[in-house]
A = this chain, B = another copy of it.
Amino acid sequence: MHFGYALRRAQIAAFDAFASATAGHPITPPRYTALVILEANPGISQSALGEVLGTARSGAMMLTNWLVARGLAERRHRPEDARAWGLYLTRRGKTLLGTLKRRVLDHDQRFGAKLTPAERREFLRLLGKLAP
């Protein structure tokens, strides 16, 4: 049995859990991750966001456009650097993220409930060794 294959199967199952958690909202994993990053790093620039997400600047811009168009995030001028925007979650974005986080965490725990608590700890430890 290949690790790559087994991992892919497990990730597909985990993605299904994510899709169930975000049903009704057009939220994809990158968009969800962007919301989490904006919450944890208020005022982050688009370039920095793209770097964290592992995508190009243009991709970060399209992602930001999407969030801004739906009123989930906003761009604010930064006094110390007129080139870069500072990105912030709006109240609506914070509210949506709060809801989604609860639902995603809930589905994630349900997904992990196929393992015993000891197995969960061990599994996460082994994942940490594989992808440091």
Contacts and interface: CB of A to CB of B under 8 A. Distances in A.
B119 A126 contact: yes
A7 B3 contact: no
Q: Copy number in this complex?
A: 2
Secondary structure type dominating chain A contacts: helix
Interface of A: 1-4, 6-15, 17-18, 29, 104-105, 108, 111-112, 114-115, 119, 122-124, 126-131
A17 B5 CA distance: 12
A127 B9 contact: yes
A37 to B, nearest CB: 12
A6 B131 contact: yes
Nearest to A105: B2
